[in-house]
Structure formats: structure tokens, C-alpha cells
């Protein structure tokens, strides 16, 4: 691997914050247009009721719940990449942790909105707090998502403090932005004492956030797993969802890495190595997900209970076969080969695989939810579900909202952690008052960055 | 002042306890509507049960019709299948040969009227996040439509698909303006909330039979019995029979017994067909 050429000031990393071109505003406004359209769709839903959706008596949940599972899924990105790599002291993580952590926060925000949009009576949302019953998996979800969101925001914020202080000192902006940076930097001056405390706080958070994240997706799966429905009532659901979440989470980071690298010219920081490492992690999760999928369907089909077979028939060759096979082949098998073969294991190749994975995983969530609901519990005919323009519009708006949040974030705060990536270099050269710390854990202090580079490849 | 670790932990603990107490108190609140509603029975609550004789049912759907009229049942908002576009709180399934074979004791050509089973271990009650669905003291599963948030988790959880949702604004009439809302008679109906059969709790508390039982009797089938399992009697409006004797003589069973939901609706198989 080529030796990483550090800039002395990490200027590339904060350039997007200083300069915003026409392209940025065009992009933001087009995203906003989609969101406004989604807002109009939601307004229609509020005034007419859920009757404007395709959901009805049998298929009583649809795209909104699919999106909930999808967004909560990609929110796992931050946890895995950031926390696990921090805990294990993997040095290559440095330029991508911030990206991962922000994906977590914003995906969670959008995801948490979905069940609220799905409510028949959003005006009574507060009843969840006033009359919450701990016996209900929805309350488990409410608590665990709220906990995760709080934790994820703290976990995103802590490593941001030195960078915010850096912006405060470096940009010396007057006006509201200067004041906000000053406020958020919490008086950071990079002293030994502050550094020690910050390191400790990040270390504690990175351990705490892992079980919280695992619990969130487990509990989301239990919304389905705790019912008596064929296709849902399965003890594999908790781990199945957690693995699926990490899988689509990594895919999302890869896509974000590719885009930010291109648009913000971060080639020096985000290298082919990152795509290779994350690509291989994606491959490992892909294999795990294939394993879980086979376990789930083989167990259901071998026993050959009539109800199980009915559902599997609909998936394998019936009504939902197109979605199922696009997911299985396009979302699992093809990406696996693309990453496994060195020829396609390039940044672009890995990114295409990641996009396929996310399309596949969205479809997978769809075919977890819809077919099970369509299969009647009594001798009915099968339920039908055709999402309406309202549901598609709100879905598009939620994707746009997620992209918008992360875009705006990257324009106010560095999307690659400056102090963790180039901090050491800057400190040794006696530049601006950045923390001399670049390492998080005490043990990595003894390993110089250059030494780390040599055993990378 | 520097906060010590001890005081911090104490504060967090205190806050957690306060939140837990708040939730606990809020949770208490859902007994609001569970006060005894049954006619006096020497202080004992009733244990309402329904028995449906499949031998007698000819599938005329008079019960469904009576139910819709009695409860001013809202439309399905386009969901199929339905009875003249209305929610079927008691639905009469027609079992053809193939389908019938998949269900115990039901033979070709039989009809299966299905009200809410009013389970005593109800999956719907278990999953409600806000305590909007609950057991009345006499064992009827009721819904508080003023509390329901419309998440539809209870519908997903119901193994009998006997819960319905007001997808849009239910039609309102002058007639219902005189009615004060009560979970035992959820009129006026509310948009965005869940509805179902509740054994005509508003009639039963006054000592009347549910509308479907009455209609079935009037139509001459006399296939639906209703009564009190504590007193071990049920009636179809014409005859009064001993529940335990009827069930054992006719081989009464409940739908999806194996799920352990303990339904309060029994079926008598169509043996003579």
C-alpha cells in the first residue's frame, strides 16, 4: 500500500465546511423538494386517514414497517465499525468512524419516525409514555430505540469535541456559527486532563453501545417473533435481524465512503484498503446471512407443516417469488462473488456490491413482513397489498431525509475525524492547538502510526 | 461543586426509580373500564361463553347482518372480502372440501361463523402497548377507542384475524349522536382505531342476548348459544341447556386450541352431515 501522505493541517477534511458550491445547494434543494412532496403525502394521510395507503384488513402493515426495519438496520453501521473497531484497536478505522457514527444517528432518527407515521392515531402518540405497558414489545422498542438514539448521539458527539474546538480556533467565525462551535466545544483546550477524560468517556461509550445496539435490532425482530404467526414466530429472528442489520449497515458505510471520497476528494484518507477491509467484512456478514436464511427456510420446509409450506410456496414460486429471488440472488449471491473475486474487489466494485446488498435487504424486509401477513389465519383467501403513491412518496422522502441529514452534517462538521486521523502529525509539528492525542486506548500509544501502516497489507 | 461518582450514581438511580414509578402508576390506569358490568350474580362475576352449533348453521349470515345493524359497524374501506362492504365482526366462512379438510372436525359444505373468540389468554391484550385493549371482569375483551393509538399490533397478533381497523373516517349518523361512548358499545366509531366483536357487552349487561344469537334464533336455526360458564348454562333464546353436558355430548371444541389462547367460543361439530 502506498504510504499515506498526511497533510499538515487536515485541510482537505474541513474544506467542505468552509466552501459550499452551487452543486451543494442544488443537491440540498432537490432533496428538500422530495421531502416536501413526502410531507404533502403525509398531510393527505393525516387528513384522510390510513385509507389512502394500500394497507387493509389482512395486510395491515406495509412499507412503513418495512422502512422501519430497514433504517434501524442500517443504523447498526456506526456500532459495528466504530465501537467494535475501537475496542479492538483496529487503526484503519480512523477515517471512517465519524461517518459510521453519523449514519447511525441519522438512520435511527428516520427509522424511529416510521412507526409514528404508521400510527392510526398519531395525535395519541403520547399515550406510549402515559399508559405504556412494559408487557408490549412495542414499548420494548420504544425504550431501546430511545436509549440507542441517546447513546448514539453521545457517541457521535464525544469524538467530535476536539474537532469542534479545532473549527472554533481555526475558522474564528463571527456570528451564530462561531457561537455554536464555541458552545459545543465545551471549552476544549486539549489539556492532558481533558484528553484523559475524553479518552475514557469514548472508551466506556464504545463498550456500552454494543449491547445496546444488539438489543435494538433484537427487539425490533421481536415485534414479529412474539406473535403466533407462521414465518414470524421463530427463535432465530433476534440474531437473524441483528446479522441482517450489521450486513446492511456495512453496505451503507461503503456507499457513504464512496460518495464522500469522490465528492470531497478524500482519496488520501479513504483508500482502497478501506474498501477492501469493509468489503471483506461485508462478505463475512453476507455468508452469515446466507447461513441464517438457509437455516430458517430449511427448518420450516423440512418439517413440511401445511402452513409453513403455504408460506414458503408463496416465497419460492408464488406471488412473492420475484422479490425473494432478487433478494437471494441479487442481494446475497452476486455481491458475495463480487467481493470474493479480486478482480471486482475494487472501490467501485465493492460499492456496487453494497448497493445490491441494500436493495436486496430492503426487499428482504418486505418479504419478511408482507407474505406472512397475507397468509390468512382462518380459511380466508390470501390478502393483497399494493402500496399507494402516499406510501411510496413517504418512503422516498425518508430516504431523502436521511441523505439530507448526513449531507448537512458533513458541511458543518468534518465527516472524517480530523484529530483522530491527522492529529498526531499536527501535534508533533506544533501547529494549531489540537489535542496531541490521536490514540484512544492506552495500548495503542505504544504503537506508532507508521509502524501500524507496515502491517496493514 | 464537583459531583462525586457516588452522588451521580445516586441521582441516576433516583431518576430511574421516579420514571419506573411514573410508568407503574400510569400502568395502573388501564383498569379504568374493568369494573364489574355483569348483572348481579351473587357478587360473582360472569364468565360469558358462546357455543356455535355447526350442525345447525346453514350459512345464512343473518348473524353478521344483525351484528352490523346492532353495533353500527363501520365499513371495511375497500378491504375484501366483506359483507356488503362492512366489517364482519362475526364472519361466516364457507368451507369447501379442500379447506375443510385442513381444519379439524369440519366437513365439506360446512359453515363456520367466527366472532371474536374473547380469549382468556388473549394474544391481542398481551401486545397492546398502551393498555387500550383489556379484559372486562366477566371475561370479555374490550377496546378503549379513546386510548388506542392505531399501531395494529393486536391485529397482527390475533390468530383468528377477528380485529378490524377503521382505515378512514367511519360514517356517522344522527342516531349515534345520542349515544355516549363506552368500550362496551364503541359508538360513535373512531377513525384510526381497532374494533371487534365484544359479545354485545352492552346488551349482555342488561340481561339480553347478543344480537347474533337473537338473529339466529329468529331465523330458525338456533345455532348460537350464549351463557355463563360459572352457572354452566347456555341458551340459544329458545332452550336452556347445561354447557358442560352439551359440550361433552356433542364433542365441543375450540378453534386453534393448541395455541393456548383459551377462547370463550366453542364449536359443536356437524356430525350428522
Mind listing the pLDDT tens digit for each residue in A178-220?
A: 888 888 989 888 888 888 999 899 989 989 998 999 999 999 9
CA dist B33 and B183 (Å) reads 8
CA dist B174 and B185 (Å) reads 16
B148 contacts on A by Cβ (under 8 Å): 120-121, 124
- Total structural domains within chain B: 2
Q: In chain A, pLDDT over 70 holds for what percent of residues?
A: 90
Instruction: Check residue B35 and give its pLDDT.
Output: 41
In A172-320, which residue ranges form alpha helices assigned H by DSSP? 175-184, 192-225, 237-263, 272-303, 306-316
The sign of the dihedral angle between the CA atoms of B213, B216, B222, B223 is negative
Instruction: Check residue A258 and give its pLDDT.
Output: 94
Q: What confidence tens digit (pLDDT) does each residue in B10-34 have? A: 887 777 777 766 655 554 444 444 4
Per-residue pLDDT for A237 more than 50?
yes
The partner residue sitting opposite A379, judged by closest CB among B87, B103, B169, is B103
By the 8 A CB rule, do B134 and B125 touch?
yes
Query: Each residue of B214-229: b (16+ CB within 10 Å) or e?
Result: bbbbebebbbbbbbbb
Q: Is residue A188 part of a domain?
A: yes
CA dist A283 and A337 (Å) reads 9
Q: Is residue A175 part of a domain?
A: yes
Query: Each residue of A237-254: b (16+ CB within 10 Å) or e?
Result: bbbbbbbbbbbbbbbbbb
CATH label of the domain that carries residue B198? 3.30.70.20
Per-residue pLDDT for B236 more than 80?
yes
Q: Is residue B97 part of a domain?
A: yes
Contact A228 B157 (CB under 8 A): yes
Name which residue leads in pLDDT, A78 or A244: A244
Per-residue pLDDT for A398 more than 90?
yes
Per-residue pLDDT for A452 more than 50?
no
- Total structural domains within chain A: 1
CATH label of the domain that carries residue A428? 1.20.1630
By the 8 A CB rule, do B173 and B66 touch?
no
Name which residue leads in pLDDT, A381 or B150: B150
Q: Is residue A228 part of a domain?
A: yes
Identify the H or E element spanning A32.
helix A22-48
Q: Which of B31, B130, B191, B257 to mutate to test the interface with A (most CBs of A within 10 A)?
A: B130
Mean pLDDT of chain A: 85
Q: What are phi and psi of B51, to 5 degrees?
A: -125, 130
User: Hey, is the C-beta of B93 within 8 angstroms of any chain A C-beta?
Assistant: yes
How many CB atoms neighbour CB B96 within 10 A?
Answer: 12
Average pLDDT over residues A237-262: 93
Q: What confidence tens digit (pLDDT) does each residue in A76-92 have? A: 877 777 888 888 888 88
CA dist A203 and A422 (Å) reads 20
Instruction: Check residue B39 and give its pLDDT.
Output: 52
Q: Are residues B102 and B217 in the same domain?
A: yes
Residue A232 is classified by DSSP as: T
For residues A76, A245, A394, B152, the Cα torsion angle rounded to the nearest 10 degrees is -110
Q: Residue B140: which pLDDT band, with cuts at 50, 70 and 90?
A: very high
Reduced to 3 states (helix: H, G, I; strand: E, B; else coil), residue B51 is strand
By the 8 A CB rule, do A312 and A300 touch?
yes
Containing structural domain, residue A50: 11-271+386-441
Summary count for chain B: helices (H), strands (E): 8, 11
Q: What is the radius of gyration, based on Cα positions, of chain A?
A: 23
By the 8 A CB rule, do A124 and B129 touch?
no
Residue with cell 441516576: B12
How many CB atoms neighbour CB A451 within 10 A?
Answer: 10
CA dist B34 and B198 (Å) reads 14
Q: Are residues B96 and B27 in the same domain?
A: no
Q: What are phi and psi of A408, to 5 degrees?
A: -65, -40
Q: Is residue A277 part of a domain?
A: no
By the 8 A CB rule, do B225 and B236 touch?
yes
A229 contacts on B by Cβ (under 8 Å): 156, 159
Q: Residue B219: which pLDDT band, with cuts at 50, 70 and 90?
A: very high
Residue B178 is classified by DSSP as: G
Per-residue pLDDT for A384 more than 70?
yes
CA dist A106 and A403 (Å) reads 9
Per-residue pLDDT for A394 more than 90?
yes
Which range among A40-54, A63-77, A439-453 shows the weakest confidence by mean pLDDT?
A: A439-453
Nearest CA among A263, A264, A261, A153 for reference residue A209: A153
Average pLDDT over residues A259-263: 91
Instruction: Check residue B234 and give its pLDDT.
Output: 94
Q: Residue A223: which pLDDT band, with cuts at 50, 70 and 90?
A: very high
Which range among A46-60, A132-146, A350-364, B82-96 shows the weakest confidence by mean pLDDT?
A: B82-96
User: Hey, is the C-beta of B59 within 8 angstroms of any chain A C-beta?
Assistant: no
How many CB atoms neighbour CB A211 within 10 A?
Answer: 10
Q: Are residues B23 and B55 in the same domain?
A: no
ipTM for the whole complex: 0.85
Instruction: Check residue B99 and give its pLDDT.
Output: 47
Q: Is residue A352 part of a domain?
A: no
Which range among A27-41, A394-408, A410-424 shows the weakest confidence by mean pLDDT?
A: A410-424
Per-residue pLDDT for B242 more than 90?
yes
Query: Which residues 378-407 in chain A show a CB within 8 A of chain B?
Result: 378-381
Tally of CA atoms within 13 A in the half-sphere of A20 that contains its CB: 13
Per-residue pLDDT for A291 more than 80?
yes
Q: Is residue A136 part of a domain?
A: yes
Q: Is residue B273 part of a domain?
A: no
CA dist B167 and B87 (Å) reads 11
Q: Is residue B122 part of a domain?
A: yes
Q: What confidence tens digit (pLDDT) does each residue in A149-181 have? A: 999 999 999 999 988 888 888 776 778 888 888
Q: Residue A423: which pLDDT band, with cuts at 50, 70 and 90?
A: low
Name which residue leads in pLDDT, B67 or A176: B67
Containing structural domain, residue B21: 1-31
Grid coordinates in use for A104?
Answer: 447511525
Instruction: Check residue B23 and give its pLDDT.
Output: 57
Residue with cell 448514539: A152
Per-residue pLDDT for A457 more than 80?
no
Q: Which of B5, B9, B135, B150 to mutate to test the interface with A (most CBs of A within 10 A)?
A: B150
Per-residue pLDDT for A448 more than 50?
no
Query: Which residues 26-85 in chain A show a CB within 8 A of chain B?
Result: 48-51, 53, 55-58, 60-61
CA dist A28 and A26 (Å) reads 6
Which range among B2-6, B51-55, B104-108 shows the weakest confidence by mean pLDDT?
A: B104-108
Amino acid at each position: 500500500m502506498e504510504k499515506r501522505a498526511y497533510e499538515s493541517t487536515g485541510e482537505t477534511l474541513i474544506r467542505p465546511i468552509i466552501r459550499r458550491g452551487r452543486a451543494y445547494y442544488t443537491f440540498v434543494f432537490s432533496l428538500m423538494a422530495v421531502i416536501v412532496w413526502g410531507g404533502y403525502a403525509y398531510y393527505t394521510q393525516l387528513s384522510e386517514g390510513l385509507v389512502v395507503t394500500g394497507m387493509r384488513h389482512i395486510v395491515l402493515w406495509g412499507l412503513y414497517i418495512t422502512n422501519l426495519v430497514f433504517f434501524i438496520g442500517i443504523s447498526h453501521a456506526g456500532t459495528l465499525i466504530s465501537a467494535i473497531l475501537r475496542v479492538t484497536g483496529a487503526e484503519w478505522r480512523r477515517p471512517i468512524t465519524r461517518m459510521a457514527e453519523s449514519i447511525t444517528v441519522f438512520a435511527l432518527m428516520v427509522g424511529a419516525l416510521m412507526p409514528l407515521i404508521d400510527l392510526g392515531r398519531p395525535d395519541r402518540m403520547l399515550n406510549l409514555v402515559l399508559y405504556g405497558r412494559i408487557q408490549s414489545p412495542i414499548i420494548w422498542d420504544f425504550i431501546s430505540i430511545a436509549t440507542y438514539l441517546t447513546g448514539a448521539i453521545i457517541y457521535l458527539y464525544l469524538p467530535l469535541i476536539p474537532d469542534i474546538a479545532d473549527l472554533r480556533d481555526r475558522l474564528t467565525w463571527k456570528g451564530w456559527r462561531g457561537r455554536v462551535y464555541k458552545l459545543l466545544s465545551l471549552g476544549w483546550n486539549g489539556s492532558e486532563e481533558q484528553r484523559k477524560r475524553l479518552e475514557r468517556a469514548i472508551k466506556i461509550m464504545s463498550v456500552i453501545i454494543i449491547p445496546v445496539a444488539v438489543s435494538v435490532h433484537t427487539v425490533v425482530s421481536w415485534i414479529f417473533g412474539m406473535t403466533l404467526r407462521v414465518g414470524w414466530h421463530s427463535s432465530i429472528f433476534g440474531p437473524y435481524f441483528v446479522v441482517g442489520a450489521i450486513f446492511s449497515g456495512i453496505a451503507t458505510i461503503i456507499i457513504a465512503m464512496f460518495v464522500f471520497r469522490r465528492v470531497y476528494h478524500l482519496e488520501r484518507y479513504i483508500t482502497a484498503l478501506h474498501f477492501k477491509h469493509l468489503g471483506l467484512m461485508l462478505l463475512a456478514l453476507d455468508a452469515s446471512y446466507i447461513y441464517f436464511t438457509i437455516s430458517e427456510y430449511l427448518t420450516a420446509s423440512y418439517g413440511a407443516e401445511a402452513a409453513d409450506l403455504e408460506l414458503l410456496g408463496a416465497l419460492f414460486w408464488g406471488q412473492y417469488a420475484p422479490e425473494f429471488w432478487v433478494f437471494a440472488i441479487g442481494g446475497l449471491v452476486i455481491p458475495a462473488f463480487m467481493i470474493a473475486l479480486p478482480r471486482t474487489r475494487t472501490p467501485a466494485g465493492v460499492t456496487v456490491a453494497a448497493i445490491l446488498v441494500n436493495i436486496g435487504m430492503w426487499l428482504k424486509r418486505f418479504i419478511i413482513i408482507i407474505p406472512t401477513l397475507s397468509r390468512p389465519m382462518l380459511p380466508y383467501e390470501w390478502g393483497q397489498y399494493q402500496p399507494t403513491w402516499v406510501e411510496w412518496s413517504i418512503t422516498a422522502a425518508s430516504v431523502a431525509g436521511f441523505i439530507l441529514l448526513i449531507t448537512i452534517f458533513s458541511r458543518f462538521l468534518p465527516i472524517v475525524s480530523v484529530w483522530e486521523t491527522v492529529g498526531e502529525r499536527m501535534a508533533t509539528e506544533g501547529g494549531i492547538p489540537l489535542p496531541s492525542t490521536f490514540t484512544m486506548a492506552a495500548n495503542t500509544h505504544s504503537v506508532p502510526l507508521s509502524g501500524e501502516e507496515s502491517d496493514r497489507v | 461543586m464537583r459531583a462525586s461518582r457516588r452522588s451521580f450514581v445516586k441521582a441516576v438511580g433516583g431518576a430511574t426509580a421516579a420514571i419506573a414509578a411514573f410508568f407503574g402508576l400510569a400502568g395502573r390506569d388501564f383498569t379504568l373500564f374493568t369494573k364489574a358490568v355483569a348483572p348481579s350474580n351473587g357478587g360473582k362475576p360472569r364468565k360469558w361463553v358462546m357455543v356455535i352449533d355447526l350442525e345447525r348453521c346453514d350459512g345464512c349470515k343473518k348473524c353478521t347482518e344483525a351484528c352490523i345493524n346492532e353495533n353500527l359497524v363501520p365499513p371495511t374501506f375497500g378491504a375484501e372480502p366483506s359483507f356488503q362492504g362492512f366489517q364482519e365482526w362475526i364472519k361466516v366462512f364457507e368451507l369447501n372440501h379442500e379447506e375443510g379438510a385442513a381444519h379439524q372436525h369440519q366437513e365439506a359444505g360446512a359453515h363456520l361463523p367466527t366472532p371474536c373468540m374473547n380469549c382468556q389468554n388473549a394474544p391481542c391484550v398481551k401486545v397492546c402497548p398502551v393498555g387500550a385493549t383489556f379484559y372486562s371482569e366477566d371475561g370479555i375483551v374490550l377496546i378503549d377507542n379513546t386510548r388506542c393509538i392505531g399501531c395494529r399490533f393486536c391485529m397482527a397478533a390475533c390468530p383468528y384475524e377477528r380485529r378490524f381497523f377503521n382505515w378512514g373516517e367511519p360514517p356517522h349518523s344522527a342516531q349515534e349522536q345520542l349515544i355516549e361512548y363506552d368500550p362496551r358499545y364503541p359508538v360513535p366509531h373512531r377513525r384510526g382505531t381497532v374494533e371487534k366483536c365484544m359479545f354485545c357487552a352492552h346488551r349482555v349487561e342488561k340481561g339480553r342476548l347478543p344480537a347474533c344469537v337473537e338473529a339466529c334464533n329468529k331465523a330458525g336455526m338456533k345455532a348460537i348459544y350464549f351463557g355463563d360458564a360459572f352457572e354452566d348454562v347456555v341458551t340459544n333464546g329458545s332452550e336452556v341447556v347445561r354447557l358442560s353436558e352439551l359440550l361433552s355430548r356433542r364433542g365441543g371444541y375450540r378453534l386453534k386450541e393448541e395455541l393456548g389462547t383459551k377462547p370463550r367460543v366453542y364449536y359443536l361439530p356437524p356430525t350428522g352431515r
